[in-house]
Amino acid sequence: ADMSLNPSPEETPGLRRRFIISSIIVAGVFCILALRLWYLQILGTDYYRDLSERNRIRYVAIQAPRGAVFDRHGVLLVDNRPAFTVSALRQEVDDRKQLFANLAKLLDIDEAMLEERWQKGQSLPRYRPLPLVEDVGRQAMEMVQENSIDLPGLLIEVKPLRSYPFGDMAAHLFGYLGEVTEDELRQSGFSDYRSGEMVGKTALEKAYESRLQGDAGQKRIEVNVRGRELRQVTIRSPLPGQQVYLTIDSVLQQAAENALADNAGAIVALDVNSGEVLALVSRPSFDPAWFARGITSEEWRDLSNNPQHPMTNKALRGQYPPGSTFKMAVALAALEAGTVTPATKVYCSGSLKLSRSYAFRCWKKEGHGSVDLHKAIKESCDVWFYQVGLETGIDRISSAAKRLGLGAQTGFPFGSERSGLIPTREWKKKRFGTSWYDGETVISSIGQGFVLTTPMQLATMTAALANGGTVWRPQVVQKIVDLEGNAEWVLDPEKLNETAWSSKHLTLVRKAMEAVVNDVGGTAWRSQLDKVRFAGKTGTAQVVRRKSDEEEEASEEGEVPYQFRDHALFVSYAPAENPQIAVAVVVEHGGHGSSAAAPIAKAMYDAYFADETKAEEVTKLISAED
């Protein structure tokens, strides 16, 4: 027994080897643990601290409010309102399908829409919250918060959303917002944007995006294991965009919108002494708030399929034959060329025969009798202008029209303005390869045929007639103001052309335009106002060929389909003795300028030159907003 307790010398080396091996293994394990501990505490400090921070800290961008837009008197036209957005922190979302299923059921929305928004944001850094559902109501927001344990990785962001106190008023002028696209995000100018953010897509919102955008802030928040916010650690406040003051007069703008009502068409009002746009209307319109919150496919389909093209700014892009509103250009061209004098008379029997087989009719079947320049404009005698146009020639007429601002873009700062068309002999030869005919001069002399103008051009022309011949570039931004109230940019009126019209000739034309509205027999005399005397010219632009007598009778009975009815036009300025404002009105398929367009201008002047002071009107508008 004693011998069994004491190993023999032969067994001792084996025990020693096992002991040594075990000791080495244990030492090795401790070395590995020590090395791992050293790695975790020394080399991996930054990495694991970052992981720890990400479990506890979130960085959330705070979208800056876009700059507000005001009218010339400080009336708020475009503002912002707070809106709740459900966003996802992608690094905290483990089961996306289950998350989307829970959220879709909770908010009664389509899972496919959530997946689409998720995919759109894949190109962005993962630390940025990805907006999934925007502009949810307060009740929906509270439901998301109450069920946050089933919605891991989601958070509620409060974002400023565009609001429009006056609804769709001046929508074509403001433009609309849309979600930033992947192509835009790849561009250098959009480096500060993230998926889901809204940017200006058209008109003012697009042209002044960099000034309206503002600078985003950042919020650093601490959350618990369930993702609930515990406290706000740090915050960098966002800086709102700059404020834009327009030249628009909201009283006049509203009056124009109300007067045009449900008719399709356009209205432009200008300050005759600076080119400042006082009103710009295009109808039918659209609600820019739809785009601010994210337009639905059904809403977009309704806008796109509307045959009256509500998305087109007709004030800048609508091209219409000017009809008889073109006659002032013809009259000035003839006076300047010496082909007529104020006393030159033409007998109007109701038509002008250019050949044995064809006669050009006057709008008045029985004719106007003996007509001079004053009567020709006042009563809009076509035959007088047929004859005078032939004697003056198309090239002289075209030159006068272009000097008045027709046939070329006026230089309006945004909106993809179209140029219209003022034809010449050379233009026709290049365009069609054929010579110019006398019959084309005849119909061009009453603003038909190849002649096309935009409402903006017609307003520019009328302003030039009113101010003595100066064509001003139309401007709509009065000033841009920073957060401290300092003007970053101020409007500097720009002359496009200062025509050397004879003051005597201009006076003759202006007196005739005054008679159009204020003298019995004038084509717009029923639209005269007691409070202010204004001057104007009616126009009726044919959409199809000149009607036969039978078609005229059917037209009077209202049997002509809408799309074949004539456009109604009216250009004017006021006051007649000391012009301040020029207005051009186009009512698509409205019939006659005297009955459809002139009353709209009358309503605008009635509002603009109201007996109450304009300051009181502005005060009412501001009070209504508050």
Burial of 181 (0-12, 13-18, 19+ CB in 10 A): middle
* DSSP alpha helix (H) spans, 468-581: 503-518, 549-556
501 within 8 A of 461, measured Cβ to Cβ: no
Give how far Cα 514 sits from Cα of 147, 509, 524, 596, Å: 71, 9, 10, 19
Give me the amino acid identity at 179.
Answer: E
- H helical segments located in 123-243: 138-146, 171-174, 182-185, 203-207, 209-212
Q: For strands 359-361 and 477-481, give the pairing.
A: unpaired
95 in Cβ contact with 173 (< 8 Å): no
Provide the pairing of β-strand 243-246 with 69-70: parallel
How would DSSP label each residue in 456-501? HHHHHHHHHHHHTSEEEPPB-EEEEE-TTS-EEEE----EEEE---
* Nearest by Cα to 513 from 536, 486, 532, 491: 536
CA distance 428 to 327: 21
Q: Of 471, 466, 472, 470, nearest to 510 (Cα)? A: 466
Alpha helix positions (H), 404-468: 425-432, 438-444, 455-467
| Cα(144)–Cα(153) distance, integer angstroms | 12
CA 522 to chain centre: 37
Q: Which residues contact 7 (CB under 8 A, 6 or more apart)?
A: 15
Burial class (CB in 10 A: 0-12, 13-18, 19+), 390: middle
In the chain the first and final C-alpha atoms are separated, in Å, by 109
Is-catalytic flag, 444? no
- Exactly one of 195, 282, 285, 324 is catalytic; which is it? 324
User: DSSP label at 6?
Assistant: S
Strand order in the sheet with 581-587: 277-283, 265-271, 581-587, 567-574, 535-541
Residues catalogued as catalytic: 324
